[in-house]
Amino acid sequence: MSAKFSFSQLIEAVDGVKVFGDPKREISGVQTNSREVHPDCLFVARRGLVADGHKYLQDALDRGAAALIVDSIFLEQAKGDGSLQSFSNSMMVVVESSEKALLSLAAWWRQQISCPVIAITGSNGKTTTKEILSGLLSDLIGNGVASQGSYNNEVGVPLTILAADRDVKWLVLEMGMNHPGELIRLSGVGAPDAAVILNIAPAHIGNFEGVDQIADAKCEIVSGLKEEGILVVPSFDKVLQSALGRLEKKRRYTKLQFGTVRSTGQSAGEGEGLAVSLSDISSSGFKGIEFSLSRKGECQKMVLPLLGEHNAFNVAAAVTVICELFSISLKEVSESLLKAKGAKMRLEIQEFEEAIVVNDAYNANPRSVEAAFQTVDSFQAPLIIVLGDMGELGEKSEEFHQEVGRRAAQLSPTLLVVSGSFSKAILKGAEQVPGQGRRISIAVRGDSPEAISQEILSEIAIAPDRPVILVKGSRSAGLERVVDHLVVGLTNNS
């Protein structure tokens, strides 16, 4: 399942110039990593931060690539050193920028797809909501394509679009950003029929003046929304609602809101302006959460086998868009939701005889850390907390990390392990909270994940009851390696 087009269509779509090749030859699929190239696909040679794709052109051809996109810099160099002729048996297109060509090709292919396209953004919960939504659509609607992992940037979004063929029934695009203007480009390429903005939080705030500017940047997703499209937002996020008020409405769309009501008996839309209302949220411990949703007079109890009461809001957002675009009842949603699977390293639970590991090490900002704290606090079990840095928080980094330290200490963990550049700030916050029987360990930069995990395993060995271990930090903290060593140690001890 992938985009299929001719060489001549490729040249036109990217506004390129043919170097070699037959214009009538067909191409199937697009890759930017030579290791993932398959026969008959297009290889786009990008100049990335880590590697230059132009160095892997021959590798891509050896793996069966049908065509190559190269930039003008490479072409001039290859002409100069005489290496260009070695590619004369391939199909090659030259463009000014390979990165822009990838976006242009995806934008062209998006116009060839007739299925509903849904774009998701927000400070927290994008990937989990994408997983929930795509799971429901696969089960209830049929064949479709969703962003893989966190494929949510100016490479991941176009590759996701180009992974869809003309017959897909739906396409879900996760869209991230850490600077203004990114969502204008991504939304312009994706041209969504529906856009979801989940929330606004101080994520990547180091790149913005404040949360209002983050909200403005998130609202840029509306710029590519199709005429008469749907915008789904939470009713209770005041920062987001203010940003929407500042947004110049250049196109017509329908705003649908989800939010909470006091009780199940109150229907969505009755005095609340809600398309979908949420009530009676409760934790079922390690089994997940329960809540009720109401829409157009229908009320249904939901059981979600994922940790975190905040995920009820992610479900509400998904249900708002799916019920509007497709003829699906809440009862159908409730039955399908029982099979929901979360994203890796997002409150991912692994149970062992001696301990329970909650791996939330994919990313972190103050709001997501608080959500993780609330989740593990509801388990009423001995707690071990491992915290790493929260990235891109700018001038308020010290303040945010101190507050996280205070909140961690308030949960009275038997052991708090802090690691990274802001470990002292977390420690300073934790020490402001009086406590007895709590140990705090600082793993300085250079300490191995194995050493950190060994300290935790030693604590588990003397714990009177099976503890819960929360591992939380930004992706740059690399705490998933601590989880890997913990899993090995706990497996060997079982």
Alpha carbons 471 and 452: distance in angstroms, whole number:
11
Residue type (1 letter), 194 = A
Alpha carbons 52 and 45: distance in angstroms, whole number:
7
Selecting from 3.90.190.20, 3.30.1950.10, 3.90.380.10, 3.40.50.300, what CATH number does the domain 348-493 have? Answer: 3.90.190.20
Please give the pLDDT value at position 268. 43
Name the token pair of 182. 């990114």
Alpha carbons 254 and 276: distance in angstroms, whole number:
14
Question: Whose CA is closest to 46, among 31, 59, 61?
Answer: 31
Please give the pLDDT value at position 437. 56
Please give the pLDDT value at position 488. 96
pTM confidence score: 0.93
The helix/strand count (H/E) of the chain reads as: 16, 22
Alpha carbons 356 and 378: distance in angstroms, whole number:
14
Range 4-101 classified under CATH 3.40.1390.10:
yes
All CATH 3.40.1390.10 domain ranges of the chain, comma separated, are 4-101
Angle ∠(370,460,307) on CA atoms, nearest 5: 35
Class of domain 113-337: alpha beta
Please give the pLDDT value at position 250. 66
Please give the pLDDT value at position 129. 97
Residue type (1 letter), 234 = P
Q: Which segments in the chain show pLDDT lower than 70?
A: 250-251, 262-272, 436-438, 441-447, 494
Please give the pLDDT value at position 220. 96
Task: Spell out the long-range contacts of 454-459 with Cβ–Cβ below 8 A and sequence spacing 24 or more.
Answer: 454/485, 454/489, 455/415, 455/417, 456/384, 456/386, 456/415, 456/417, 456/482, 456/486, 457/486, 457/489, 457/490, 457/493, 459/384, 459/414, 459/415
How many C-beta atoms lie closer than 10 Å to residue 110's C-beta? Answer: 22
The helix-helix angle for 7-14 and 98-110 (nearest 10°) equals: 110
